[in-house]
A = this chain, B = another copy of it.
Amino acid sequence: MSEIAGTPRDRRRRETTAEILEAAWRLSRRDGLGSVSLRDLGREVGLRASSLYAYFDSKAALYDAMFRQGQEQLAALAAEWPRSLADVDDPRRTAKELAARFVAFCTEDPTRYQLLFQRVIPGWEPSPESYALAVARVDELRVTLASVGIEGDEAVDLWTALLTGITDQQISNDPGGDRWSRLVPWAVDLFFDQLRSEP
C-alpha cells in the first residue's frame, strides 16, 4: 500500500530519527525520564546536542514522539482484545486476562508507563494530537469492557482507576515484584461479584 522508502536522504533521516528515539528510551530507562540531557543523548548517537534539533523541534517534541510510540504499542496490545460478546465464552475469565495483560504491559516497562499515564516530566504534557490517541484508546476500552459485561461510564472509570492504581503501587513500592499485580484476579472478582448481586 504505502511506499515508505522515498529518497535515500529521507531514508537516512528516518533511520537517524529512530536511532535517537531508541537511545532516548534506553537512557530514560537507565537514568529516569526527567534525567535525560540532550548532550548525553547526542553523545549516545554520535551527535552534538544542537544537531538533535534537526530531528526534533524541542525536547518536549522528543517526549511527544516517545509518547506516541508508547500509545502505538498499547494500541497494538488492545488490537488483540475481543470486540464482541460473541467472542467471549467466559466473561470473568476474559476480563482477568485483559486486566493481567494490561498490568503486565505497564509493569514490564515502568518508564513507558510513567510517560503514558503519569506526569513525571516538569512542565511537559502530551500535545493535543498525541493526547487524542490516548482518548481514542479509552473509547476502545469502553467497547471491550462492554463485551465482557462491564458497562457504563462509571464502571469503565472505576476499572481504569483500579488497574492504574494497582500498577502504580506495584511500580512505586515493589518494583520487579508482584505484591500488587497478583491482586488483579481478585480485583476483577470484585467487579463480577457485584455485577451478579445487583444487575
Contact = CB atoms under 8 A, between A and B. Distances in A.
A172 B191 CA distance: 24
A193 B193 CA distance: 8
Interface string A181-199: 0010011011101100100
Interface residues of A, number: 35
Majority-rule SS of A interface residues: helix
A157 interface: yes
A120 B166 CA distance: 18
The number of times this chain is found in the oligomer is 2
A121 to B, nearest CB: 8
A180 interface: yes
B172 A157 contact: no
A162 B168 CA distance: 10
A166 B165 CA distance: 7
Contacts of A162: 161-162, 165, 187
A73 interface: no
Interface in A142-176: 154, 157-158, 160-166, 168-169, 172
A123 interface: yes
A127 interface: no
A197 B193 contact: yes
A14 to B, nearest CB: 30
A123 B161 contact: no
Interface stretch (A27-35, A74-82, A85-93): A27-35
